[in-house]
Amino acid sequence: MKNICCFAGHGKTVYDDNIKEQIYDKCRELIINSCVNEFWVGNYGNFDRLAADVVRALKKTIFQYRA
C-alpha cells in the first residue's frame, strides 16, 4: 500500500536552511510514524527544490539505515 505525501508551496519561497530543516523533520516523522513511502514533488520554484533536496537526502539516509 502506498502512503503518499505531496508538496505544495510557493515558487518564490526563499531557499532557507531553517525551512529545509523543518521539511526534513516533518518528512522523517511521516516516514516513521505514518509509514509514508512515496513523496510527490513539483518542479517549479524554490519550495519544490527544497522539498526535492530533502527527499533525496532522506532516501540516502533510509537506504543506508536499511542496508
Q: What's the chain's average pLDDT? A: 88
pLDDT tens, residue by residue, 18-40: 999 999 999 999 998 999 999 99
The 3-state DSSP class for residue 33 equals helix
Give the pTM.
0.82
**What is the residue extent of each domain of the chain?**
4-66
- In the predicted model, is pLDDT for residue 67 greater than 50? no
Q: What's the CA gap between 58 and 32, in Å, rounded?
A: 12
Which residue, among 44, 38, 61, 49, has the nearest Cα to 15 in the 3D structure?
49
Cell numbers 513539483 correspond to 42
Measured in whole angstroms, how far is the alpha carbon of residue 33 from the centre of its chain? Answer: 15
